[in-house]
Structure 1
């Protein structure tokens, strides 16, 4: 993949709101096959487009990239053929992985998680709706104003805010609830909000779903003007967004390698991690990873083709 192809692919992923990790080699010790400047894209399904080293290095890049993608963070990955030194102090922002199968020297790769901005639909064209668009854009969020009550709502939407002054309120709110949007809100007075809740109940929306609606929308801080009301709505979205607790991969005991809630915009399932039965390396359990099926039907994952072949040559040697 040429640099131009890489940039074109990045533009396409961003346009499609697909999260990905841009992995760039920043340092390489001989005799590694990768060189500084080599880069690759790591997608949520574990697919890697580009080059950042051989199969063993690629396997580590895949796993650590998926961990960072779920956390919505970036970091520096150091891959070394030497085993971890327990006396070596940990460095903040650096994840060091000892890969005994690595044929070359140490690689340092910057993993930059590219997460789409929070997507917010604003229904209506009243002053508050226009203010919501301005404030959202100032936050660098993906704010999409609409007046079409039947406009589709993406599955990765973070919020739907109705500020239409009585037009199609129940219709849009019901659609947002059905779509599973985390934050659904109505900009209205308390009296109007109660009326819309009753209307939704009459439409058959379950009470627990009606209770999810933030109405009146926004934190109660005494806002009066349209921009002030918009500010309170975004403050409430931030206050209510899902929180993610990401464990240290070096100390995590959960087999998945990650716990807690995913970001609402992430399409990824919980990351599953296997252990290479030959060398003991952790491997992401994805369709893009190197794997083999044993005669008994069990599937095993490997850091590279060498370990896979060693297992296939004598499976019983590596099965416990």
Structure 2
């Protein structure tokens, strides 16, 4: 029980810091195995087990490999580690995936079987919104319910409109601690368009969108090129922002943007 409590505390710490990790849980064992059902381990992206235990070398390699892959693609895995004769009886080879189960070979003399569920725990995706327009306000509400960590970049006088935001920054400067996994939306709509867009195109991001017409975006891009911004940096801007669903109202535009971000975030994670 104390170890279980320690793992839960550690998981909460990693979540609070926004650090990705995988939780490996032994869900079934057959015959002799070092770890038993219920054993858990917390695994970092580099393969380090920071707490817990899921067995020795017989299982460790296959579980760590599954953890790294799960953290890379965001999908859980069920790993079944079996002796050679068991794999042969199921007509599967080590490393093969069948019906959602990844099979691995148990090389230990005990010749037991262990099934381990590996679940990635990823930080909330970061959404940075520049501006305090009605679209920006609507976007905070919708994106927060979809699990995004919300950062608002807007003049401090406008911060009162964003009571549900996770982080508030005065002005349009994008914070320096961003990453290529971030989502950026320029929703200034006439107030600070150029300053916000100039800051955004120089920050790393997975998604960069401008709330406005193609004509307005093209004019702003031309101004940025004249100011010295390389044209290549402007090619990733999506304008107008959001999926083309005929959106008109601020709520509808915000909905189309959130839908587009979800499509990008989940791309490749679901197969038919």
Q: State the TM-score bracket (shorter-chain normalisation).
A: 0.7 to 0.9
Residue 141 (1) aligns with residue 151 (2): no
- Could you tell me how far 1:245 is from its partner in structure 2? 8.3
- Unaligned 5+ residue runs, structure 1? 247-320
* Cα distance between partner residues in 1 of 2:244 and 2:62: 48
Going by fraction, where is helix more abundant, 1 or 2? 2
SS of alignment partner, residue 56 of structure 1 = helix
- Could you tell me how far 1:38 is from its partner in structure 2? 0.9
Q: Deviations for 1:155-189, whole angstroms, at most 9, x for unmatched residues?
A: 14431001122333333333333233121111123
- Could you tell me how far 1:14 is from its partner in structure 2? 1.5
Partner residue of 2:79 out of 77, 80, 86: 77
- Could you tell me how far 1:6 is from its partner in structure 2? 0.9
Q: Deviations for 1:77-131, whole angstroms, at most 9, x for unmatched residues?
A: 1112325317536741211211223645111111111122332111111110011
SS of alignment partner, residue 24 of structure 1 = strand
Give the TM-score normalised by structure 1. Answer: 0.69
- Could you tell me how far 1:55 is from its partner in structure 2? 2.5
* Cα distance between partner residues in 2 of 1:112 and 1:239: 22
Residue 207 (1) aligns with residue 214 (2): no
- Any conservation in 1 of the 2:182–2:204 contact (CA below 8 Å)? no
RMSD over aligned Cα, in angstroms? 2.5
Q: Which residue of 1 aligns with 2:9?
A: 8
- Could you tell me how far 1:206 is from its partner in structure 2? 1.2
- Could you tell me how far 1:132 is from its partner in structure 2? 0.6
* Cα distance between partner residues in 2 of 1:172 and 1:130: 16
Q: Which residue of 1 aligns with 2:27?
A: 26
Q: Which residue of 1 aligns with 2:186?
A: 162
Structure-2 change in CA distance of 1:117 and 1:29 (3 Å): same
- Unaligned 5+ residue runs, structure 2? 155-170
Aligned length: 246
- Could you tell me how far 1:17 is from its partner in structure 2? 2.1
Give the TM-score normalised by structure 2. Answer: 0.80
